[in-house]
A = this chain, B = another copy of it.
Amino acid sequence: MTAPLRLGIAGLGTVGTGVVKIVRKHRETLAARTGQPIEITAVSARSKSRDRGIPLSDYAWEDDPVALATRDDVDVFVELIGGEDGPAKAAVEAALAAGKDVVTANKAMLAIHGQPLAELAEVNTRVLRYEAAVAGGIPVIKALIEGLAGNEITRVMGVMNGSCNYILTRMEASGLSYQEIFAEADGLGYLEADPQLDVGGIDAAHKLAILSSIAFGTQVNFDGIALEGIERVSVEDIQQAADMGYKIKLLGVTQMTARGLEQSMSPCLVPATSPLGQLEGGTNTIVIEGDSIGQVVLRGPGAGEGPTASAVMADVIDIARGNRLATFGQPATELTAAKVAHSARPAAYYLRLALQDKPGALAKVATALGDAGVSIDRMRQYGHEAPTAPVLIVTHKTTRDALNTALAQLPTTNVVAADPVALRIEDL
């Protein structure tokens, strides 16, 4: 048996605590699987005194994660602090510069600073691994970098924010409004400290940006994602979608097109019977499509102590076994800056408008759409009591650009009361 692999863990929240538990519980199994004992030598967190239900007295304590990251008795720095900048990034940079391998669960940091961090890792011949950053316990990073590496990846899609999926699933089941279910989810502790990270789609988009980089060999580009949260999805939208055989999911799609890399994270209608449509609550599902494989679907817990710690440990075990991968699957200096495409794939759209009760109002809307080249597949107007009438429209396939042009024209008709809701229909 060789010398132990020594971990320094910064951040002892849910995930950090879970990692400590696994290292303690599976000491023998981990050594058998890697040929090397895995030990924790030092830890760091905001509060030393807080009771986390795990004994920390065996480990050295550092108040400063940067000090932890550069300790001589640390081989692998495990960053579980979170946040795209600040102490997390400073400590990761310090660790790589000091010749430590790094394992992190920090999707925001990788989505924003992934390229320079990958380059820093490479300059120092260290690895930077982040299985826990995407889809919790699902080994999707490994599947994409390794298991499907013989493929040209053609598309990656997924539902990768459990909180949004919980809210949408609960809205459908209860018939309660977004605002009511949001409050419920917040009360249950299902949302991030800044809930906008969840419901605004930002957290899920961070994950998508990382997947794109691996899938297409491109520099991670969070700003290139067409991003839309779930805040404007109504119970009525969910029910209308259900009538048409669809569910509404916060769906991430990344695809290399002739016009460039198209990444979107937005509420979409997906067939109710599809793997993504069937997904309920906090479970995540990632769909990977490649030229040889066809389609693979990975489904599992997207968050939580055990699943996320399981993913962190997979990275630690890889390092112990000597599996040293480039951060995004190929040398960082070879990753290309992809052209951003936002409207390459035509799709049908679901529109919900609030129409003012004026003669010829519906005709004016249809004309505005038609003038922009958006043709209508189905349209439905409701009986109503309010001064505005809800109108639902399903378009034929169109580009998002054409649709946006049409939507921009609508106010000039003077018959549309509020910003329309426009949701893409993805026939997977």
Q: B33 near A139 (CB under 8 angstroms)?
A: no
For the complex of A and B, the 4 pairs showing the least CB-CB separation, nearest first, are A139-B147, A150-B313, A296-B300, A292-B306
The interface-forming segment of A108-116, A179-187, A328-336 is A328-336
A25 contacts which chain B residues (CB < 8 A)? 291
A18 contacts which chain B residues (CB < 8 A)? 292
Q: A131 near B149 (CB under 8 angstroms)?
A: no
A215-259, CB under 8 A of B: which get 1 and which 0? Answer: 001000000000000000000000000000000000000000000
Q: A314 near B22 (CB under 8 angstroms)?
A: no
A324 contacts which chain B residues (CB < 8 A)? 322
**Bound form: Cα–Cα A147–B313 in Å:** 9
Tell me the number of copies of this protein. Answer: 2
A24-39, CB under 8 A of B: which get 1 and which 0? Answer: 0110011011110000
User: Which B residue's beta carbon lies closest to that of A138?
Assistant: B296
A314 contacts which chain B residues (CB < 8 A)? 146-150
Known pairs A34-B149, A146-B317, A321-B323; list 19 more (Cβ under 8 Å).
A18-B292, A22-B292, A26-B152, A30-B150, A139-B142, A139-B148, A142-B146, A146-B146, A146-B323, A148-B310, A148-B314, A150-B310, A150-B313, A150-B314, A292-B309, A292-B310, A297-B298, A297-B299, A297-B300
**Bound form: Cα–Cα A15–B321 in Å:** 30
**Bound form: Cα–Cα A139–B290 in Å:** 13
Is A301's beta carbon under 8 Å from chain B? Answer: yes
A321 contacts which chain B residues (CB < 8 A)? 323, 325
